């Protein structure tokens, strides 16, 4: 405990000394002891916007995962922001370089390019908008930028998908099949408009377009990539049945990265910020079962002792990589800033960044 107290004190002292030169961003899924030190706690969209609008800090410490730090680097060091800072780059630091995202790893640029080329055998790819969930590598965002595509987060997926389908007949949505499917169905699209591209099935004789026939692809409007989040994939409809049996009045709220059958059965679905908002604005005495990462659920339960807030699953589902960031690692990157030799700097290379920026800016402009 004394050890923790000393670290908290050390981090706060550095934050005071650095003042406005330092911005610490923390995703909702971070550990409680880490989030305490964040200047801003938010969902992926809010944190991207904070990085984009930042023109005067020198260092961003991103308490989140790798793709988030990449996004912050691309946005914070856009040509516009660099001009405002007389060309001075912001260093974006990730306290643990192993903090990745297994979902982002499920779609590499090479995989998606192979799919895109295969699609071009049967449809006109000029009539497809590639949409990448922000949970993806900068490389894939650059692919989207080059092909007239756009990024989305879980809080703006519907606006992005609607805008894309207004402009072109089809979208290729990656890496998260569940967010894509849940969003398309919420917009009123029919299941028959949606196909899922499974790279492993591309060798099937009569369905060699990611497990689909050429006709199925041609008739679809939304082509989903077969990726998923291992944290949200753990929720199943049985969890909802069981919780309603025990608490008939409870409201079930889940993240749209959960499988379709779970979202269908829940009372509502929304991004992490939506979940935070709904619970914070609900009246005293309300009861919520929450289907998302367990650290956020535990924080909400502590913040609102006048309400019942419980995990939807009996076994809490934690994101292991988000949990890699801890106080010693946060203190270590802050020390490196103070010493003038920042470590764990995430810098997207100059060939990738401009197109990835295009894709992110289209998202930020789409409300």
Residues within the interface to ligand SF4 (CB under 6 A): 29, 65, 101-103, 135, 229-231, 293, 319, 321-322
In DSSP terms, 195 is beta-bridged to 223
CB 93 within 8 A of CB 217: no
**Of 38-57, which residues contact ligand 13P (CB under 6 A)?**
43-44
Q: Which DSSP state fits 312?
A: S
What's the CA gap between 57 and 80, in Å, rounded? Answer: 14
Q: How far is the CB of 271 from ligand 13P (least distance, A)?
A: 4
Q: Which is nearer to ligand SF4, 321 or 344 (CB)?
A: 321
C-alpha 293/C-alpha 298 separation (Å) is 9
Q: Is 321 in the site for ligand 13P (CB under 6 A)?
A: no
Q: Read off the tokens for 245.
A: 């049996």
By C-beta, is 101 or 195 nearer to ligand 13P? 101
Q: Which does 271 bind (CB under 5 to 8 A by kind): ligand SF4, ligand 13P, none?
A: ligand 13P
* Residue 365 neighbours by CB under 8 Å, 6+ apart: none
Minimum distance from residue 44 beta carbon to ligand SF4 (Å): 8
Q: Which does 63 bind (CB under 5 to 8 A by kind): ligand 13P, ligand SF4, none?
A: none
Q: Residue 154 or 170: which CB sits closer to ligand SF4?
A: 154
**What does 102 interact with, of ligand 13P, ligand SF4, none (CB < 5 to 8 A by kind)?**
ligand SF4
Contact in structure between 168 and 119 (CB atoms under 8 Å):
no
Q: Fill in the DSSP letter of residue 227.
A: B
DSSP SS3 for 309: strand
Contact flag: residue 272 with ligand 13P (CB under 6 A): yes
Q: Which does 154 bind (CB under 5 to 8 A by kind): ligand 13P, ligand SF4, none?
A: ligand 13P
Closest by Cα among 221, 147, 156 to 183: 156
- 78 binds ligand 13P, rule: CB under 6 A: no
Alpha-carbon gap, residue 140 to 146, rounded angstroms = 10
Q: What is the DSSP string of 206-275?
A: S-TBTTB-HHHHHH-SEEEESB--TTTTT--HHHHHHHHHH-TT-EEEE-TTS-HHHHHHSSEE--HHHH
| Interface pick for ligand 13P out of 229, 254, 297, 358 (rule CB under 6 A) | 229
H or E element that contains 294: helix 294-303
Identified binder of ligand 13P from the candidate list 154, 182, 321, 355, rule CB under 6 A = 154
Read off the tokens for 70. 């990449």
CB of 178 to ligand SF4, least distance (A): 10
Closest CB to ligand 13P among 132 and 135? 135
CB closer to ligand 13P out of 14 and 313: 313
Query: Which range of residues in 18-26, 150-158, 238-246, 259-267 is near ligand 13P by CB under 6 A?
Result: 150-158
d(CA 314, CA 330) in angstroms, rounded, equals 31
**Smallest distance from ligand SF4 to CB 154, Å:** 9
Residue 78 tokens read as 């856009």
Q: Which residues bind ligand 13P (CB under 6 A)?
A: 43-44, 135, 153-155, 229, 257, 271-272
């Amino acid at each position: 405990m004394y050890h923790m107290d000393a670290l908290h004190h050390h981090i706060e002292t550095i934050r005071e000394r650095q003042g406005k030169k330092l911005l610490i961003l923390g995703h909702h899924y971070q550990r409680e002891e880490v989030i305490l030190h964040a200047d801003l706690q938010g969902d992926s969209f809010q944190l991207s916007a904070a990085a984009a609008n930042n023109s005067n800090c020198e260092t961003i410490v991103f308490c989140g995962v790798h793709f988030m730090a990449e996004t912050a680097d691309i946005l914070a060091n856009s040509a516009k922001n660099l001009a405002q800072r007389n060309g001075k780059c912001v260093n974006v630091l990730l306290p643990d370089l192993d903090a990745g995202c297994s979902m982002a790893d499920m779609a590499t640029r090479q995989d998606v390019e192979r799919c895109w080329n295969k699609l071009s055998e049967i449809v006109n790819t000029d009539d497809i908008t590639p949409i990448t969930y922000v949970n993806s590598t900068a490389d894939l965002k650059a692919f989207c930028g080059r092909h007239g595509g756009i990024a989305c987060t879980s809080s703006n997926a519907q606006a992005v998908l609607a805008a894309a389908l207004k402009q072109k007949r089809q979208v290729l949505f990656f890496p998260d099949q569940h967010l894509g499917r849940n969003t398309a169905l919420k917009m009123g699209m029919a299941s028959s408009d949606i196909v899922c591209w499974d790279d492993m099935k591309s060798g099937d004789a009569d369905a060699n377009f990611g497990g689909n026939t050429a006709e199925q692809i041609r008739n679809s409007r939304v082509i989903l990539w077969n990726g998923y989040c291992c944290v949200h994939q753990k929720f199943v409809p049985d969890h909802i049945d069981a919780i309603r049996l025990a608490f008939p009045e409870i409201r079930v709220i889940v993240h749209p990265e959960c499988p379709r059958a779970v979202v269908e059965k829940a009372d509502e679905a929304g991004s992490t910020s939506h979940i935070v908002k709904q619970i914070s604005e609900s009246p005293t005495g309300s009861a919520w079962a929450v289907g998302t990462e367990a650290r956020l659920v535990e924080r909400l339960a502590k913040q609102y002792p006048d309400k019942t807030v419980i995990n939807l699953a009996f076994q809490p589902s934690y994101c292991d990589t988000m949990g890699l960031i801890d106080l010693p690692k946060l203190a270590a990157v802050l020390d490196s800033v103070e010493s003038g030799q920042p470590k764990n700097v995430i810098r997207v290379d100059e060939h990738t960044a401009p197109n990835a920026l295009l894709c992110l800016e289209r998202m930020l402009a789409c409300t």
